[in-house]
Structure formats: structure tokens, C-alpha cells
Amino acid sequence: MKINNRFKKSLSMLIITIVVLFILNKVLDDYKLRVLNLCGIYIILGLSMNLINGFTGLFSLGHAGFMAIGAYTVAILTMPAPMKEMNFFMKPIVPFLANIEWSFFPALMMGGVMAGLFGFLIGAPVLRLTDDYLAIATLGFAEIIRVVFTNTQSITNGALGLKGIPASTNVWWSWGLALVTILFMTFLMEGSYGKAFNAIREDEIAARSMGINLFTHKVMSFTFGSFLAGVGGGLLAALLGTIDPNMFRIVLTFNILLIVVLGGLGSIKGSVVSAIIVTIAMEALRFLDESINLGFVKLEGVAGMRMVIFSIILMAVVIFRKEGLLKEN
Amino acid sequence: MLKIENMTMRFGGVVAANKFNADIEKGQIVGLIGPNGAGKTTIFNVITGVYRPTEGKIIFNPGEEEQDITGLRPDEIAKLGICRTFQNIRLFKELSVLDNVFIGNHLRIESNVFSSILKFPNYRKEEKMMLEKSLYLLEKVGLEDEKDGKAHSLPYGKQRRLEIARALATEPKLLLLDEPAAGMNPQETRELMEFIKDIKDEFELTIFLIEHHMEVVMGICEEILVLDHGSLIAQGDPESIQTDSNVIEAYLGVE
Ligand SMILES: Nc1ncnc2c1ncn2[C@@H]1O[C@H](COP(=O)(O)OP(=O)(O)O)[C@@H](O)[C@H]1O
Ligand SMILES: [Mg+2]
């Protein structure tokens, strides 16, 4: 009865979403479509960070790094050989990657798997001891990845970045995978493993005294989160068509953290709504960074002003409304 | 059921337990009493793997299939069948009452995480059983009407009962209760005593409990251990403890 009702509700939500996307896909211009795609991608990214930081209570700041791994994996696997040759004019790409050309979906999954693998490799040693250092370790990891990608010229093309990545991401991919991620998170958190993650967040001593292996559950949550971050990064690469190591700075992680905190730690709905609002606000407030001409007076924009505003909002939320702006009750 | 051999637990200069020995027989209710700071909770923490003892051994199921559990992790010990409640209640506060008990079942789950996400039949079947068991246990502790509320919104006495239900969900053979009657009124305390005897029989438990309410200890324990400054000073049935001169001096007398 209850299940059935929920199924009907979900189905109608799904149909409405598809219809809305269909219409938006027809009427929006290229720029607005890009923002729509970004919304879908940020839903995935917000949920993946919420899984680690909100639902399991770990503190990871490695998202930009996992996204970079996903983005580069997708770019290298999907770019056709001639395009690679054009990009790698300073130093040729290593031969075994030169002629690889995968289709989008397997490449995207591979991006997730690679990110998940790295998540596991960093998570396992840190989480075995204590997760106090996870924030530092992941932050360090994200910076190291950026430096490594800048210097492995024959694989990533270094600081020059990659241009002409097949633009496979469209509204169906970004929103389709966002919906899959929402389902994944809902089912995971309803089940006994997800509840065990919650228990760890609530009280580690009680959780392990009830027989929950902290290490395996934390690593599980962290690896899933990294996988999803990799998928998000891959979608982003195939949306923008161009990537370079400097895209994946800590600011990127900060944006996602903002989504998670505003939407409420441990709230799926919150992260979804917040991802959409923050993504649109980031675009809408772009004028703050540029100069505004009011006709009679010209206001000089300040680069980085948007970030200042968002940082202030973030601090205010953390201080005055820890449960997030959008979380009910 | 459980044998503690020459166990010493030192925290820096503090000797919280000193060459402590105990032998808890299967099917008994054993009480552990002693003044505040005597080291009672420390003994529970050592048994459940929160601390590794400085010296000595903890043997589970002594005899044929005995297991040395000294230094195992708390989750491993819980899986073997030793579960506990906490003196300073440690519920999963923000989670629902039902979820608290449900999570107690998780250690016995056989389906993997992917079956749980994809809701495969093997997981659904297990989940259904876990849910039924959780509801049964909530009914047992009289919290079935509060199952959807958050754990921290329950009054104190009910939180203690919820902790017991959560511990029972792990299917323990040995249940450790750290001051289960603390903060309860006389009526609740009497109900608790009946409840402890009741679950002992129903779930074939062995119970080791710390308690300050003498009424509880003398009323339901078959064997009592008295601790003072980390050392065992007396041991025996309720009558002999009440007349033991060491105990009167160290503990009952001062009260
Ligand atoms: N983790 C710890 N670190 C340092 N001292 C501790 C620790 N745990 C307990 N103690 C000390 O051990 C002694 C016994 O404490 P405890 O076992 O809690 O006593 P009880 O439960 O009998 O009241 C106390 O002096 C206490 O301060
Ligand atoms: Mg104590």
C-alpha cells in the first residue's frame, strides 16, 4: 500500500521531469542548456559528497581530485585519434592510449571506476587508523592529482589541457544519471548498509559495539562517493569539451560543499534542490565579478566577488542553521 | 560463558582494574557492584574490546570451544555474541527508535551492499525478518508506539529500554548492562527487574550487570562480585555479600 503509493508518486515525478526536460531541451538556448546540464551534474556531485560527509559523517575534501580523474579518463578514452594528435603537439601521447576510442557510456563508467579506485587507495590507509586526518589527506590528494596531471604531459597533455573532447553530455545523460544517482542514494540509505553509515555518523563507539565494522563501512561509503564524483567529473568534461588541470582546484570542492551544507547534511532532497539553486545562482550572480554599466555610472566588478558572497552564506548557515536551509523540520 | 583471568587495566598511573578474576557461568545473572570509580565500567570496556587490557586474558565460552577474545575489536566481539548497553546512554540520537533497533540487526546480515541497493529478493527477505524482529523487540520493551520518533526525544527511562532492545537485536549470548536502572523511578525499576529475568529466559541469555540500586542487585542476581579500587574484594550470593565484613566496610557501610 505504502510502497505502491510511493511508486506512483515517483513515477509521476519521473514523467513530469522527463516532460519538463523535453520542453526545456527544445526551447532553451545553448547557454541556458549548459546551465541545465550543470544542474544535473551538480546533483550527482552534491549527493556523492553528502554520502561521505553528510550521511557517514566523514570529512572529505577530495572531490576536485576525484572529478579530475573522471574527467581525464573520459576525455582520453573518448577523443578520436586525430584529435589527440592535434592536442598533443608538444609531446606525443603514449602509444597505447593514442588509438583508443571508446563510446561515451563505458568511458564514463571507467571514469567512475578509476575515481573509486583512487578513493579506495587513499581511504583505506587513512580510515584504518582514524578519520581525523581524512580532510587533510584528501585535500592533499586533490592538489597532488592536479600537479601530477600538469606534469604527465604524455598522458594528460599537461598544463595545455585537452580540447575537442566529444560533446556527448546532453540533458538526457546529465539528468538521466542524476535520477539514477537519486535512486541509488535513496535505496542505499533505506537499506541496512545505509543505516549503518548513519549509525557511524551518530556514534562510532555505539556503532562498533553493535557489531558494525567501522573500517569496511567507511571505506564502502567513501569509495561509492568517489565513484560518483568521477562520473560527475566525466560528465563535466564531455559537457565543456575542454579541460585543464587548473579547473580542478579546491574552489570546485568548495562549491560542492556549499551545495551539501545549504541543502542539509544527510538530506537527499536538500542536496538536489540546493544543487539546482546554487548552480543557477552561480550563473545569475556572474555580473558581480564583471563591471556593470548603469548608464550614468559604471560599477567596477570585483573578480571573486561571487565566492565571497557564497562564503558568507556558507558561514552564516554553519553558525545559525546547521541543519541546512532546505531541510524540513 | 566468560572467564576473566588476572586482568589489569592501567591508564597511565591509574590502575582501574587490578588482577581481576571472574568466572561467569552460563545462564546466570551476575552483578558487579562497587563505589563510583571502582573500575566497573572499565571491566565492561575491556570485555567488549573498547580497551585492550594491560595484562591478563578474557576467555569466551571457556571449555571445549573456548575463544581468547583479548584484544579483539568491539565489532568482532559483538559478532561472537557479547553485547552491551552504556552507562551514559549512547543511542543513535537523530535516528528513529525503530532504526536504532534495526541497526542492531545489521551485524548478522548476509546479503551484500549491492543486493541491498538493488533490493534483490535475498536482501528483501532478510530485511523483512530484521524489521519483524525489531518490531517484536520494541513491543517487548513497550516502545512500539514510539517507533517513529527520534531516539533522543524519548524520556530517560525509555532510552535505557531502547538500548536494551538494540543490544538484543544483535542476538547476544552474553548481555552486559551498565547501570540499567540509573535514572529510573521505583516503579520503572521494578518493571526492569521483571524484564531482565524475562529476557534472560526467553533469549537464553547470560547477564552481567552493573548496578547501584541494591534492590535490583539483591533481587535478581544469583552471584555478586564486589569491586573496590579495581580489586575484587568479595564474591558470592546476595546473602553472603550483605553480611561480608569487607563489603560493609568498603561499600555498604559508607553508603
Ligand atoms: N579512558 C580512561 N582514561 C583514563 N582513566 C580512565 C579511563 N577510563 C576510566 N578511567 C579511570 O578508571 C577508574 C575507574 O573508572 P570506571 O571504570 O568508570 O569506574 P566505575 O564504572 O566503577 O564508576 C576511574 O578512576 C577513572 O577515572
Ligand atoms: Mg561506571
Whole-structure pTM value: 0.93
Residue A196 has pLDDT above 80, yes or no: yes
Ligand 1 centroid to Cα of residue A131, in Å, is 25
Do B229 and B190 lie in one domain? The reply is yes
Q: Please judge whether A187 and B116 are an interchain contact, meaning their C-beta atoms are less than 8 angstroms apart.
A: yes
Residues B4 and B73 in one domain: yes
Which residue in B238, B251, B161, B167 sits closest to B203, CA to CA? B167
Closest by CA position to A69, among listed A226, A241, A257, A250: A226
Please identify, among B169, B197, B224, the residue that sits at the C-terminal boundary of a domain: B169
Share of chain A above pLDDT 90, in %: 72
Write the residue in B118, B127, B170 that is nearest to A192 by C-beta.
B127
One domain, residues B147 and B100: yes
| End residue of a domain, out of B151, B169, B187 | B169
Please report whether residue B88 resides in a domain: no
Residues B137 and B19 in one domain: no
Which residues of A fall within a CB distance of 8 Å from B170?
210-211
Q: Which three cell numbers stand for residue B164?
A: 536494551
Asked whether the predicted pLDDT for residue B165 surpasses 70, the reply is: yes
Partner residue opposite B99 with nearest CB, options A188, A195, A211: A195
Pocket test for ligand 1, best of B14, B51, B210 (most atoms within 8 A of CB): B14
Q: Which of A55, A188, A192 to mutate to test the interface with B (most CBs of B within 10 A)?
A: A192
Strand partners of residue B210: B32, B178
Give me ligand 1 centre to Cα A226, in Å. 40
For range A114-135, the mean pLDDT: 90
Q: Report how far apart, in Å, the C-alpha atoms of A299 and of each of A128, A292, A308 are.
A: 53, 5, 17
Mean pLDDT of A157-176: 94
Q: For chain A, give the percent of residues with pLDDT over 70.
A: 95
Neighbouring C-alpha atoms within 13 Å toward the C-beta of A148: 11
CATH number at residue B36: 3.40.50.300
B16 lines ligand 1 (CB under 6 A): yes
Indicate whether residue B133 lines ligand 1 (CB < 6 A): no
Q: Is residue B86 part of a domain?
A: no
B54: CA distance to ligand 1 center in Å?
A: 14
In a domain, B47, yes or no: yes
Ligand 1 near B42 CB (within 6 A)? yes
Chain B positions touching A227 (Cβ under 8 A) are: none
Ion ligand 2 nearby residues (CB, 5 A): B 40-41, 87
Q: What is the pLDDT of residue B255?
A: 45
Q: A3 CA to chain B: closest CA distance, Å?
A: 13
Ligand 1 touching residue B230 (CB < 6 A): no
pLDDT of residue A328: 59
Shared domain check, B70 and B116: no
Residue at a domain's end among B114, B140, B169: B169
Please give the backbone phi and psi of residue A100, each rounded to the nearest 5 degrees, phi first.
Answer: -70, 130
- Yes or no, beta carbons of A188 and B116 under 8 Å apart: yes
Least confident residue range of A288-292, B132-136, B214-218: A288-292
Atom 24 of ligand 1, residue of closest alpha carbon = B37
Query: Tens digit of pLDDT for each residue in A201-238?
Result: 999 999 999 999 999 999 999 999 999 999 999 999 99
Query: CB of A194 within 8 Å of any CB in chain B?
Result: yes
A269-300 pLDDT, tens digit per residue, is 999 999 999 999 988 887 777 766 666 766 66
If you take atom 7 of ligand 1, which residue's CA is the nearest one?
A: B11
In this structure, which residue's CA is closest to atom 8 in ligand 1? B42
For residue B40, tell me if it sits in a domain: yes
Q: Are residues B109 and B233 in the same domain?
A: no
Residue B87 in any domain: the answer is no
Q: Over chain A, what is the mean pLDDT? A: 91
Please state, in angstroms and rounded to a whole number, the distance separating the CA atoms of residues B83 and A225: 31
Please give the tally of structural domains in chain B: 2
CA count, 13 A, side-chain hemisphere, B21: 5
pLDDT at A129: 75
Q: pLDDT per residue over B44-65, tens digit each?
A: 999 999 999 999 999 999 887 8
Q: Are A154 and A90 spatial neighbours (Cβ–Cβ below 8 Å)?
A: no
Q: Which ligand 1 atom is nearest residue B42's CA? A: 17
Q: Is residue B73 part of a domain?
A: yes
Extract the C-alpha cell encoding B234: 568479595
Residue range of the domain that includes B191 = 1-81+172-255
The ipTM (two decimal places) reads 0.94
**Domain positions in chain A:** 12-249
Does A47 score more than 80 pLDDT?
yes
Quick one: CA torsion of B40, B46, B47, B48, rounded to 10 degrees?
A: 110
Name which residue sits closest to atom 9 of ligand 1, judged by CA.
B42
- Output A97 or B78, whichever has higher pLDDT: B78
